[in-house]
Structure 1
Amino acid sequence: MNQSDFLKVVLPFKDKVFRLAKRLLVSTEEAEDATQELFYKLWKSKEKIADYNNVEAFAMTMTKNYCYDRLKSKQASNLTLVHSNYKEKNTSLDKKLEYQDSVNQVHKLIENLPEQQKIIIQLRDIEEYDFEEICKMVNMKPTAVRVALSRARKTIREELIKKHNYGVS
């Protein structure tokens, strides 16, 4: 497999790999490093890529495993929390602050979920993978994935309702 063929296979899911890494590692720099490391590993084993039924699912699984290893390592204590800024044009300052607050709240709630739920909600609701692909990536049965996703969504919904109704954070 030459470089051009390799890029045609892996570039379509590059952003998804980055977003998953960022969800798990939080830091943009760490996520960029993880993405680069993943593509380096894929390039080293480029001759085996054709053997995989779904290269994207394989890459997402590799990303998840790499991020977990990274978080378990001694260097994990050096990871820093960085929040993304979402900007929209033609929106009043009040609305921008409200949107930013809502986005930050949802990010915080996702970060506080158990690891399994955090990954599943990232893959399903943000990356929009179907259940079959998620099951392969996280090595779980479809029922277990659906239950974990349902629990994650319920937790987020309940916490948002509490915050909006009672101002509890």
Structure 2
Amino acid sequence: MNQHTFINLIDPVKDKIYRLALRLLTSREAAEDATQDVILKLWSRNDKLKEYANLEAFAMTVTKNHCLDQLKLKQNNNLRIVHSNYDSNENNQHRQLEIEDELDQVTSILNMLPEQQKLIFQLRDVEQYDFAEIAEITNMNETAIRVALSRARKKIREELIKKHNYGIGKN
């Protein structure tokens, strides 16, 4: 496979690779590095890429495994949480601060989740993968995925309600 063909295959999934890496590593710089590393890994296997029935699922699996390896190496322990997923043209600084606070709260809650729930939440609710694709990426059955996703959503909901109720009670 030549470079042009490889780029045409990878180009549609590189943004998803980045977003998954960002969700797992929580640092823009680490996610950018991980994205480059994953693309290099895929390039090193470029002669075998056409053998995969679902290249996107394979790329996401490679990304997940790479990011989990990075986390295990504890190279990302002291990285700041950076949210670049939200762009607003609104000039209202108060509203912007509220939104940033909400994002920080959700990020904090997501980071408390077990890695498996965090990954499944990212793939399903952010990346919009269907359950069969998530099963292929995570090597889990669909029932276990649904249970983990339900638990993740429930935990997020409970924590947000707790934080909002606590804030109301203090006023």
**Are 1:87 and 1:96, in contact at CA under 8 Å, matched by a contact in 2?**
no
Give 1:105's aligned amino acid: Q
Are the aligned partners of 2:30 and 2:76 in contact in 1 as well (CA < 8 Å)? no
Question: Which position in structure 2 is the counterpart of 1:68?
Answer: 68
Kindly tell me: are residues 76 and 103 of structure 1, through their superposed partners in 2, closer, same or farther at Cα, counting changes over 3 Å?
Answer: closer
Secondary structure in 2 aligned to 1:47?
coil
- Residues 89-127 of structure 1, C-alpha deviations (whole Å, 9 max, x = no match): 235222111111111111111111011000000000111
2:30 maps to which residue?
A: 30
AA matched with 1:68: L
Identity of aligned residues (%): 54
Aligned to 2:81: 82
2:120 paired residue number: 120
* TM-score normalised according to structure 1 size: 0.93
The letter for the 2-side match of 1:81 is: R
Q: For the Cα contact (< 8 Å) 2:35–2:63, is it kept in 1?
A: yes
Say which SS state the counterpart of residue 75 (structure 1) adopts. Answer: coil
SS in 1 for 2:94: helix
**Is 1:93 matched up with 2:93?**
yes
Q: Deviations over 1:50-70 (max 9, x none)?
A: 100101100110011111111
Q: Give distance in 1, aligned partners of 2:147 and 2:118.
A: 13
**What does residue 44 of structure 1 align with?**
44
- Return the offset for 1:75: 3.4
CA distance in 2, matches of 1:160, 1:76: 26
- Structure 2 gaps of 5+ residues are none
The answer as to 2:166 corresponding to 1:166 is yes
CA RMSD of aligned residues (A): 1.5
User: CA separation in 1, counterparts of 2:59 and 2:127?
Assistant: 13
Q: How far did 1:143 drift?
A: 0.5
Report the residue type matching 1:135 in the other structure: A
Q: 1:43 to 1:114 in 2, by over 3 A?
A: same
